[in-house]
Amino acid sequence: MAHTEERTFVAIKPDAVIRGLTSTIIKRFEDKGYKIIGLKMLMVSPEQAAKHYEEHYGKPFYDRLIRYISSGPIVAMVLQGYNVIKGVRQLMGATDPAEAQVGTIRADFAQLKEYNSVHGSDSAESAEREISIYFNPEELCTEWKNMTELVTEKEDFI
């Protein structure tokens, strides 16, 4: 069975950014071994918010989602790794922090379902769509060398 890397979109939401949890949350993903290939802080525009939550349009909570995601800065990321979509969702925990497994991001840092600190794509299709909302292809770093490759190259870095 061949293993291939996949990509996912992650947003550290306004409540977590405002509370200074950005680096702690990023560390959880890096500790798991996922590569950050895109990263930026931004204010979500109304257009981005509408595209992000388009599947919820018309639902009673839609307007609250739009107001919340655009209420403060988010940190948008593209992560890459083996089974990264499923793995990120496990690290995040259940949408409702009261139901999230102990040790997950939402269980540790969020108190309310409406302000649950982090978003991650739920499928490959969602990941592709969400990545395109927040990143242009040229903003993603796809050329990686590991440290072994760097130190074995002939070039002198000193």
Which residues are tagged catalytic? 119
Token pair for residue 48?
């981005």
What pLDDT is recorded for position 149?
A: 60
Encode pLDDT of 90-145 as tens digits: 999 999 999 999 999 999 999 999 899 999 999 999 999 999 999 999 999 987 66
Main-chain phi, psi angles of 106, to 5 degrees: -70, -40
DSSP codes, 4-54: -EEEEEEEE-HHHHHTT-HHHHHHHHHHHT-EEEEEEEEPPPHHHHHHHTG
Residue 138 carries which DSSP code?
A: G
What the chain holds in terms of domains, given with CATH numbers, is 5-152 (3.30.70.141)
19-33, 48-62, 114-128, 140-154: least confident range: 140-154
Which residues have CB under 8 Å from 48's CB, separation 6+? 133, 134
pLDDT band at 3 (very low <50, low <70, confident <90, very high): confident
Strand partners, 79: 8, 36
Residue 19 carries which DSSP code?
A: T
Sign of the alpha-carbon torsion through 154, 140, 33, 70: positive
DSSP codes, 72-124: S-EEEEEEEEETHHHHHHHHH--SSTTTSPTTSHHHHH--BTTB-SEEE-SSH
What pLDDT is recorded for position 151?
A: 56
pTM assigned to the model: 0.89
Encode pLDDT of 62-92 as tens digits: 999 999 999 999 999 999 999 999 999 999 9
Is the pLDDT reported for residue 4 higher than 70?
Answer: yes
Main-chain phi, psi angles of 75, to 5 degrees: -110, 115
Query: Helix 84-92 crosses helix 22-32 at what angle (to 10 degrees)?
Result: 140
